[in-house]
Amino acid sequence: MKLCLLVAVLLVTVTVVSCGNVSYDGRSLIIDGQRKLLISASIHYPRSVPAMWPGLVQTAKEGGVDVIETYVFWNGHELSPGNYYFGGRFDLVKFARTVHQAGMFLILRIGPFVAAEWNFGGVPVWLHYVPGTVFRTYNQPFMYHMQKFTTYIVNLMKQEKLFASQGGPIILAQIENEYGYYENFYKEDGKKYALWAAKMAVSQNTGVPWIMCQQWDAPDPVIDTCNSFYCDQFKPTSPNRPKIWTENWPGWFKTFGGRDPHRPAEDVAFSVARFFQKGGSVHNYYMYHGGTNFGRTAGGPFITTSYDYDAPIDEYGLPRLPKWGHLKELHRAIKLCEHVLLNGKPVNISLGPFVEADVYTDSSGACAAFISNSDDKNDRTVEFRNTSYQLPAWSVSILPDCKNVVFNTAKVNSQTNVVAMIPGSLQHSNKGVNSLRWDIVKEKPGIWGTADFVKNGFVDLINTTKDTTDYLWHTTSIFVGENEEFLKKGSKPVLLIESTGHALHAFVNQEYQGTGTGNGTHSPFTFKNPISLRAGKNEIALLCLTVGLQTAGPFYDFVGAGLTSVKIKGLNNGTIDLSSYAWTYKIGVQGEHLKLYQGNGLNNVSWTSTSEPPKMQPLTWYKTIVDAPPGDEPVGLDMLHMGKGLAWLNGEEIGRYWPRKSEFKSEDCVKECDYRGKFNPDKCDTGCGEPTQRWYHVPRSWFKPSGNVLVLFEEKGGEPDKIRFVRRKISGACALVSEDYPSVGLLSQGEDKVQNNKNIPFARLTCPSNTHISAVKFASFGTPSGSCGSYLKGDCHDPNSSTVVEKACLNKNDCVIELTEQNFKTNLCPGLTKKLAVEAVCS
């Protein structure tokens, strides 16, 4: 069914251009009368900065991407009811125009619930406190505000002529997000809400189709779509809808205290190839560039400030190789098949256990085939059209002419980049003076100013702060008699705290006693620590805090946090329960109230200046003036030696920092990842026992040449003199290519046909612009082993390998080494398939 026909009936009073530009049927989207096979890439505009957008979009385009996809972040735009913001990182119109100017399409996932590991799932916290509101169900207050915001965004896009029906880039819009997982929890009101949302969206008259991901009862004309690591077996609920994959996860997110997940490029490519093999038409990577959760936008709770996601473009904006390059080659191979895939008839042929070919043939006789081996252990050799093909385990070979293999998902031709974080001291060159000075403000633990309220017992942390801050002070006091045994013995009582999350710092008589925290899989925690008490009155001050709000789940808007029990054990009377005591509360820390993060000296605060900032001092604001790091590489802040807190540069929110070590043991991580077999987020983890996040992205556009104000609020104590700027730099490149790899040279420059039947594998090395290959650290043609940075020569080795590579590559920005008998002893070690492994230095 074509959406145009339906919307033509609905749009009798609409002033925008007719919707003839975008329609669909059961095979694909149809744009301007042409079927399209589309590769899409998620880039979330507020997770980078406007200065990065053109480069990110261009890098995606160079990677073979046709479409950029983004959510719309409601709580970043509607700061209070009817108070809208579209500046800075939230300039949605500018982002859409950037995509359009690059000649690309845009998928706009309005939601406006988005999940996305974003604070409160993207819904404004203020909406939770509108009386009677329940999120994401047939609830009048929620639906009123949801429709109001959706309409506002649609009208803004119409006003700027950004829908494809107006000549703009937006070809699809999304309402709601993965609601199918939760609909049944809301019973009949869940189904009513889902149908209402779809009807409300269609009534917006955008002139482009609407989608609902993971929504198995999406009504016509809305298209239901798939989110998963694999969607080849997905089928839309109507045969009149195209097969669309809105989220293919090429990695996974991180949580403070968790591991660092990685998804191999071979498996990502396998999933994409299988999707198009089985009739897919629109595929989107979530994420293609993950970016950064600046400020307090990270949700979770416990989602890291980095949202790198192991994506094809890294957090800092650099292509992640080999993943980016391998997927680029995959996209080129798929595009060679586009016309036949979209216009041909498929036939499935079994070629043995786990091996099948899907062959597409059109009316002109053109043919394309995908041959897949889904065995996760064994390579297979099969006969197809009287030709023998070797398929590695868990791989797909693409044959755009049903004869020549131009790409196999398990054979990575792309180079691997060697990425280094180059440290540099914080410097301030002021009239020739290079000594760095720090300004300090120390906060007093406990209540500052006037208390907000006093209450017997505890309050919910989120309902009290309403997410205006991470922090809520709780204070009380106890009297200790002089006859307490622990005073005579020199022992210490134990403070026992139970909390539903997320973390706390404990202080007794102004002294820091320790930190308690949950984690990304379990927010509740128990704090148990010996404390120093004295005879007489003792002040107990607990700084309780959130680390991002819940982002999804049934009734997630009612998930709370905070203390449930506070006891002191080890007194003469046994254990004292302080839970029902009178507690005095104060929302936030004083430095936030005084806006010390602005660093402009306009807040009538007396900073103490020193060249030796205090170490391991909790509740401390640090300010220093720094120069921009040299060069043009992306910049990070090395916070390895700090505790936990918040950071700003020139008033811009860098975000939460917390170099918390992963709580997992080394055996829970892998040294090498086997790409074969189905992926899950715990399959290929690294970083066990290491800080979950050491470096924090500081966009280059935030810097001035000099006079930059860096402000930190340290909660528990660190060593600020060890803070460093780092520059993220590609310092080298590796290649590992086998004689039996398909050659990208098979693809013609026009990328629309197979050029010839010559298969000459080659290794290609490219350094960043303005650098060159200054040294070859390793080169071996034969049977080398290992991976980039740790290659080893095998028993079979051509002794001329280094000479050949150096001749081809030294002092060049880019070089190609073909695996031919002119270059290497190809008759070396008969019966073995040889490889070339190279590691080069870029400088």
Catalytic machinery residues: 178, 247
* Nearest residue to 416 via CA among 822, 717, 22, 791: 791
Contact at 8 Å (CB) between 387 and 403?
yes
Contact at 8 Å (CB) between 726 and 636?
yes
* Nearest residue to 116 via CA among 165, 74, 151, 152: 74
Residue type, 446: G
Q: To the nearest 5 percent, what fractions of the chain are helix, strand and coil?
A: 20, 35, 45
Give the Å distances, CA to CA, from 804 to 531, 810, 817, 823: 68, 10, 8, 6
Burial class (CB in 10 A: 0-12, 13-18, 19+), 110: buried
Contact at 8 Å (CB) between 257 and 502?
no
Alpha-carbon span 648 to 654, nearest angstrom:
5
Question: Cα–chain-centroid distance for residue 297?
Answer: 13
CB contact set of 817 (below 8 Å; sequence gap of 6+): 735, 762, 763, 764, 765, 804, 805, 808, 809, 823, 836, 838
Buried b (16+ CB within 10 A) or exposed e, 489-520: eeeebebbbbbbbbbbbbbbbeebbebbbbbb
Contact at 8 Å (CB) between 171 and 40?
no
Contact at 8 Å (CB) between 634 and 727?
yes
Tracing tokens 């008259």 back to the chain, one arrives at 205
CB contact set of 776 (below 8 Å; sequence gap of 6+): 802, 805, 806, 809, 810, 838, 839, 840, 841
Tracing tokens 């046709």 back to the chain, one arrives at 66
The tokens for 7 are 């919307």
Alpha-carbon span 592 to 545, nearest angstrom:
14
Cα 589–291–314 angle (5° rounding)? 135
Q: At 580, give phi and psi (nearest 5°).
A: -100, 10
Task: Name the CA radius of gyration of the chain, rounded.
Answer: 29
Cis status of the peptide bond prior to 50, with omega within 30 of 0: no
CB contact set of 516 (below 8 Å; sequence gap of 6+): 497, 499, 503, 504, 506, 525, 526, 527, 529
Contact at 8 Å (CB) between 635 and 700?
yes
Burial class (CB in 10 A: 0-12, 13-18, 19+), 813: middle
The tokens for 530 are 């010996």
574, containing H or E segment? strand 574-577
Alpha-carbon span 166 to 160, nearest angstrom:
9
DSSP 175-208: ES-SGGGTGGGGHHHHHHHHHHHHHHHHTT--SS
Alpha-carbon span 174 to 158, nearest angstrom:
16
DSSP 421-442: EEEEE----BTTB----EEEEE
Beta-sheet pairing, 223-228 with 244-248:
parallel
3-state secondary structure string across 449-465: CCCCEEEECCCCHHHHH
Alpha-carbon span 204 to 146, nearest angstrom:
13
